[in-house]
């Protein structure tokens, strides 16, 4: 029952006199204070989430600049749990990314995409390997991911799981325009970025609050 109906009920029970007025005023005051606290809490949560989203974007940009990557992405895959199938398909979405300015952004364009066999194999490897997955475009079999990398001038990628549960996984992908081995500086940048985003992903997505890494 909402507040207006409570007021009407009390007025009918107590009459329109002083007792009803005092009770209603007390309830109104309590309701106003509760509403004020709820609005303040909601505003605080929005500011906190917005701040973390900005932090996410800035961290991605910094990762691109420091690592020499042409694109760094945070991606999420999800289904209804269990083994993916025709009746339980997986959907892949690029949540955030940053680029070197020459490589196209995929955020907002790669939304709930059904992965082909090649991409599904990558997801399986990510689930099993905490150390990450290294992809060299030239050595990959034909598929959607290889086609994407070739179109965007990505010669290699390093992909890491950030968080996962029974129905979803969030992962980080560094795309590079060259196939050379990474320098120690690049490797350290990737390590720092992974640690940063493991925390941010859990804060931004309630699905992963208690998910094992």
Digit-coded pLDDT (tens) for 35-64: 666 555 555 454 544 456 677 888 999 999
- Are 86 and 162 part of one and the same domain? yes
- Are 26 and 118 part of one and the same domain? no
- Are 94 and 170 part of one and the same domain? yes
Report yes or no on 55 lying in a domain: no
Domain span at residue 38 reads 3-44
- Are 193 and 140 part of one and the same domain? yes
Residue 131 confidence class, pLDDT cut points 50, 70, 90: confident
What's the predicted TM-score (pTM) here? 0.72
For the chain, the maximum distance between any two Cα atoms, rounded to a whole number of angstroms, is: 85
**Sheet of 168-176, strands arranged across:** 91-99, 71-78, 168-176, 156-164, 133-136
Query: Tokens in use for 74?
Result: 């945070």
Q: What is the mean pLDDT of the chain?
A: 80
- Are 80 and 8 part of one and the same domain? no
Inform me whether the pLDDT recorded for 72 exceeds 50: yes
Give the separation between CA 55 and CA 204, rounded to whole angstroms: 11
Query: Tokens in use for 4?
Result: 């207006």
- Are 179 and 74 part of one and the same domain? yes
Identify which of 161, 200, 208 has the alpha carbon closest to the alpha carbon of residue 62: 200
- Are 113 and 25 part of one and the same domain? no
Number of structural domains in the chain: 2
- Are 126 and 199 part of one and the same domain? yes
Mean per-residue pLDDT, 73-86: 76
Report yes or no on 129 lying in a domain: yes
Higher local confidence (pLDDT), 104 or 202: 104
Query: What CATH number corresponds to the domain at position 171?
Result: 3.30.450.40
- Are 87 and 166 part of one and the same domain? yes
- Are 125 and 86 part of one and the same domain? yes
Tracing tokens 């799981």 back to the chain, one arrives at 161
Query: Tokens in use for 88?
Result: 């339980």
Predicted pLDDT of residue 1: 53
Residue 167 confidence class, pLDDT cut points 50, 70, 90: confident
Inform me whether the pLDDT recorded for 101 exceeds 70: yes
Angle between helices 144-151 and 117-128 (to 10 degrees): 100
Tracing tokens 């090649």 back to the chain, one arrives at 118
- Are 111 and 87 part of one and the same domain? yes
Higher local confidence (pLDDT), 166 or 158: 158
Query: Tokens in use for 68?
Result: 């020499």
């Amino acid at each position: 029952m909402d507040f207006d109906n409570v007021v009407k009920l009390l007025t009918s029970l107590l009459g329109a006199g002083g007792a009803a007025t005092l009770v209603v005023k007390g309830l109104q005051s309590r309701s106003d204070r509760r509403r004020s606290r709820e609005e303040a809490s909601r505003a605080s949560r929005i500011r906190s989430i917005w701040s973390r989203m900005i932090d996410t974007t800035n961290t991605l940009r910094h990762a691109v600049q420091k690592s020499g990557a042409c694109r760094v992405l945070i991606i999420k895959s999800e289904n209804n749990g269990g083994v993916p199938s025709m009746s339980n398909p997986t959907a892949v979405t690029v949540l955030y990314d940053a680029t070197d300015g020459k490589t196209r952004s995929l955020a907002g364009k790669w939304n709930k995409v059904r992965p082909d066999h090649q991409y599904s194999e990558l997801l399986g490897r990510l689930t099993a390997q905490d150390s990450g997955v290294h992809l060299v475009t030239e050595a990959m079999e034909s598929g959607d991911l290889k086609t994407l990398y070739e179109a965007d001038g990505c010669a290699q990628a390093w992909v890491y799981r950030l968080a996962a549960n029974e129905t979803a996984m969030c992962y980080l992908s560094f795309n590079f325009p060259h196939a050379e081995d990474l320098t120690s500086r690049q490797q350290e940048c990737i390590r720092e970025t992974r640690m940063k985003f493991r925390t941010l992903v859990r804060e931004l997505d309630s699905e992963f609050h208690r998910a094992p890494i």
